[in-house]
Amino acid sequence: MPKKSRKFKTEVTQLLDLVIHSLYSKKDIFLRELISNASDAIDRVQFEALTNKKLIGKGEAWKIKITSDEKARTITISDNGVGMTADEVETNIGTIANSGTRHFLEELQKSKKGSNAEFIGQFGVGFYASFMVADNVTVVTKRAGSEEPAVRWISDGTGTYTIEDADKQERGTDVTLHLREEQDNFLQEYELRRIVREYSDYIGFPIVMDVTRTQKGENEGDEEITTTEEETLNSMKAIWKKMPSEVSEEEYNEFYKHVSHDYTDPLKVIHYRAEGTAEFQALLYIPATAPMDLFWPDAKRGLQLYVKNVFINDDCEELLPSYLRFLKGVVDSSDLPLNVSREMLQDDVVIRRIKKGLVTRVLKELADLKKRTPEQYETFYKQFGTVIKEGVHQDFENGDKLKDLLLFASSKSEAGKLASLKDYVARMPEAQKAIYYLTAGSLGQAAHSPHLEALTSKDYEVLFFVDPIDEWVTQRLTEYEGKPLKAIDRGDIDIHSAEEKEEKEAALKGDSETYKGLLESIQKHLDEEVKEVKLSTRLTDSACCLVADETGMNANMERIMKSMGQEMPPVKRVLELNPKHPIVAKLKASLERDSESSVLTDYADLLYSQALLTEGSPIKDTARFSQLLSKLMVEGLG
């Protein structure tokens, strides 16, 4: 075939500019694309050879070779794959040359709308990434099994190309790039090694390069010895492609350290192949300890993504919900929908299926870990329990599974031990109708709260929510196995039988009449601080406590919001007094002796300050509290 010049189709200059300057964020992507095309070409000829044994020789070695020529300033990527005829070159050397700008842009728009436009493996758009670093590209190719001569295709990417016969006897393709100015770093061995290791380390065929080494002679005075040997640049060890039984614990641990940059061994390995509507391989790791940047908003997170062993990116957030961001590992799928640059996943049904499959498997593995090795799960939970709680708030679909993974300290758990909601429900007395919890700033504060007294007297267990995120979790965690969750520091609590309730109400009615004057007097003095002063049914030992409205903000939530810099309006809570406590009876007697005495106001302030302290809130006037306490001590000693 004589040499022919061709023009690309309509507006190709605009399209080439889009591919070269807009679709890829890193210039070294060009080598990944060319190696991937070469790998696809070898896959193709292997497939065709299943029905035509003449296409390949017996025991033939498959490989992709990179040749760098610093003097000529060229890089050549060669393969012994399927190759192309002249017609195939004109048809396939890019969706660009065949389709024109308009059709290509239409495909790009479809990709954004979630279509299955698939460019992986097409010797086209990825190929044109070559022009990011090259001012001239030459392709010499021969089709396997064809009698037609080899073909040479040349273009400088400005809108035209030439095509002619070439002298090439063996099947396969050679792509030669003449580098632009200031791109000479891609000629260096170390740079080519880096790119291959980063993007193509797990390609299933050897990626080789001739490497020249100079060594000193064995004896002093001997001439230096220069040798050139072909070295393989990629490992080809994609362990996620192997069966779990074929991978040793040492190999798993070594690969984990490679992908996570952690120096410790992982807590658990999850290695499986998913089949069905979404087919992929996954090798996931649960770290033994939480990374320092677990809660940093700008931290890199997500899994490493590969497509047919080709690295795409190392922080693919689209494959996991944010509450599983602690996972490390790899996902590899041959039918994963990508856009033309492979740098952005399309948000379509396949992505959602893979994400759903990963979440389902991880939650199942965590449930199994909790059931079979509870001590190991507790170790995991102390590191990552907070982010699992994020899932309860975010992931409605998996809400029930996530509830089963939660652990809390409780009024009945041993020091350092945690209880699940299932454990709590199993221990509930028959008469108990709700799951009771208390939010607090610390375990010590929760364990000594006066709000526990009535429930402790009934032998009811109380869960301690001491993680700041627990306040938000309770917005979704409203019930478990049909049992409502009830905060014991909000509203009234109903823990008594019908007979007990009737007896309590009768006693409270009588006490309310007895202490009416005292309650009104304290209410008048503390009117700016508390919403109401009333007698309590929840206290058995303590003199007083503060209680939020049923839907109001409690002290713990108020502290959290203020610590986040949120401006909070004054929140008034209810001051409850224990009618059975001696101090209440003595205050009533003092009021009856002298209604104008300062004793009542002093003790009202002390009771309110005491209630603030027990709930973990600061006292507003510490100087007055100190003076009143000193005065009380003197009177007690006198």
Tokens, residue 135: 């001012």
For 298, the token pair is 């700008």
Tokens of 436: 């009771």
**pLDDT of 27 strictly over 70:** yes
Residues β-bridged to residue 155: 137, 161
Residues 6+ apart with CB under 8 A from 228: 210, 211, 212, 213
pLDDT category of residue 94 using cuts at 50, 70 and 90? very low
Mean pLDDT of the chain: 85
Nearest-angstrom CA–CA distance, 553 and 572 = 9
Lowest mean pLDDT among 4-13, 285-294, 349-358: 4-13
pLDDT confidence of residue 567: 72
Q: How confident is the model at residue 528 (pLDDT cuts 50, 70, 90)?
A: very high
Q: Rounded to whole angstroms, how far apart are CA atoms 372 and 611? A: 44
Kindly indicate the confidence band of residue 117, based on its pLDDT and cuts at 50, 70 and 90. very low
For the segment 428-451, the average pLDDT, to the nearest whole number, is 91
What pLDDT is recorded for position 474? 87
Please say whether the beta carbons of 383 and 289 come within 8 A: yes
Give me the sign of the Cα torsion angle 61, 66, 70, 75: positive
- Determine the pLDDT at residue 347: 56
Strand order in the sheet with 483-487: 419-420, 407-410, 462-465, 435-439, 483-487, 479-480
Sign of the dihedral through C-alpha 172, 178, 183, 185: positive
pLDDT of residue 248: 92
Cα 1 to Cα 89: distance, rounded to the nearest angstrom: 13
Query: Is residue 564 pLDDT above 80, yes or no?
Result: no
pLDDT tens digits along 612-623: 998 888 888 899
Longest CA span, the chain: 122
Tens of pLDDT along 50-87?
A: 888 888 877 778 999 999 999 999 999 999 999 999 98
Confidence of residue 344 (pLDDT cuts 50, 70, 90): low
Which of the four pLDDT bands, split at 50, 70 and 90, describes residue 25? low
Q: Which residue has the tokens 């996972």?
A: 327
Domains and CATH numbers, the chain: 4-232 (3.30.565.10), 239-370 (3.30.230.80), 406-488 (3.40.50.11260), 498-551+570-637 (1.20.120.790)
Amino acid at 394: Q
Alpha helices in 165-247 (DSSP H): 189-199
Read off the pLDDT of each residue in 291-306 and give the average, rounded to a whole number. Answer: 84
Residue 209 identity (one-letter amino acid)? M
Q: What is the pLDDT of residue 16?
A: 66
Alpha helices per DSSP H over 430-548:
443-447, 453-457, 470-473, 498-514, 516-525
Give me the pLDDT at residue 138, please.
Answer: 96
Percent of the chain with pLDDT over 70: 88
Using the structure block, give the residue that is written with the tokens 């009535």. Answer: 454
- Compare 100 and 590 and report the one with higher pLDDT: 590
Q: How far apart are CA 337 and CA 349, in angstroms?
A: 9
Residue 316 has pLDDT above 90, yes or no: no
Provide mean pLDDT across the span 42-57. 85
Contact criterion met (CB below 8 Å) for 78 and 40: no
- Cβ(489)–Cβ(554) below 8 Å: yes
φ and ψ at residue 138, rounded to 5 degrees = -120, 130
Q: Which of 271-280, 373-382, 529-538 has the lowest mean pLDDT?
A: 271-280
Token pair, residue 556, equals 């713990």
pTM for this entry: 0.74
Q: Is the dihedral of CA 29, 34, 37, 43 positive or negative?
A: negative
Helix (H) or strand (E) holding 577: strand 573-577
Pairing of strands 462-465, 435-439: parallel
Q: Are 155 and 193 in contact (CB under 8 A)?
A: no
Q: What average pLDDT does range 399-418 have in this prediction?
A: 91
Token pair 């007690």: residue: 636
Measured between alpha carbons, how far apart are the two ends of the chain, in Å? 120
Dist. CA 510–CA 445, nearest whole Å: 33
Report how far apart, in Å, the C-alpha atoms of 366 and of each of 18, 67, 255, 361, 406 are.
45, 48, 21, 9, 11
Q: What is the pLDDT of residues 168-202, one digit of tens each?
A: 999 999 999 999 988 999 999 999 999 998 888 88
pLDDT at 502 over 90: no
Q: How far is CA 536 from the centre of its chain?
A: 46
- 32-36, 175-179, 466-470, 502-506: range with lowest mean pLDDT: 502-506
Residue 32 neighbours by CB under 8 Å, 6+ apart = 195, 199, 200, 310, 311
Q: What is the DSSP string of 95-118?
A: HHHHHHHHHHHHHHHHHHTT----
Most confident of 115-119, 231-235, 498-502: 231-235
- Enclosing H/E stretch for 284: strand 280-286
